[in-house]
Amino acid sequence: MTQTSENVTWLTQEAYNKLKEELAYLTGPARTEIAAKIAAAREEGDLRENGGYHAAKEEQGKQELRVRQLTQLLENARVGSPPVEEGTVAPGMVVTIAFDGDEDDTLTFLLASREYASSEIETYSPQSPLGSGVMGHKVGETVEYELPNGKTASVKILSVEPYKG
């Protein structure tokens, strides 16, 4: 589970280990594999019209972006859980809201980073409009947040529980 507070990213030990393993793979075997693909494609001749070369270079760019993301995430990571006041929306919590106070129009979601998105429960990032709008608020509160189109929406927080995934 990832929880973000200020510049610290809180991770469970399992999540930290998984991200460290991914980083080790990307900076070791994956770099070797992509370098070999680029070298093989380079030997095919004219690089301007070499689809394999351009695809390998694009793949390399995506890998290096992920390496930078993981490095930054892990530099600011702490293993454990920040203190969270009971009934308060925070990363790692399952939140149920009612849109415009209509308790028949509800949404239940996990507030967490994209690394934890699953098919079991919808996941919203703490940086998303809805996630940042409800962050820090308590059960029973009605909050407004800004939608991407500039309009505002209102939701009432019905429940907040720790994710037991």
DSSP 33-90: HHHHHHHHHHTTS-GGG-HHHHHHHHHHHHHHHHHHHHHHHHHTEEES-----TTB--
Q: Is residue 9 part of a domain?
A: yes
pLDDT tens per residue, range 47-91: 777 888 889 999 999 999 999 989 988 887 777 665 556 788 888
- Same structural domain, 118 and 60: no
Check which CATH number belongs to the domain holding 139 and give it. Answer: 3.10.50.30
- Same structural domain, 129 and 100: yes
Q: Is residue 139 part of a domain?
A: yes
- Same structural domain, 67 and 101: no
pLDDT tens per residue, range 96-155: 999 886 778 899 998 887 666 666 788 888 888 999 899 889 999 999 999 889 999 999
Select from 86, 69, 66 the least CA-distant residue to 77.
69
Q: Is residue 121 part of a domain?
A: yes
* Structure confidence at residue 4 (pLDDT): 47
Q: Copy the structure tokens of residue 147.
A: 């939608």
**Which of 48, 79, 110 is the last residue before a domain boundary?**
79
Pairing between β-strand 93-99 and β-strand 106-111 as defined by DSSP bridges:
antiparallel
Q: Is residue 85 part of a domain?
A: no
- CA-to-CA distance for 121 and 117, rounded, in angstroms? 8
Domain that holds residue 155: 93-162
Q: Is the distance from CB of 103 to CB of 159 less than 8 angstroms?
A: no
Check which CATH number belongs to the domain holding 13 and give it. Answer: 1.10.287.180
7-16, 39-48, 52-61, 148-157: least confidently modelled range: 7-16
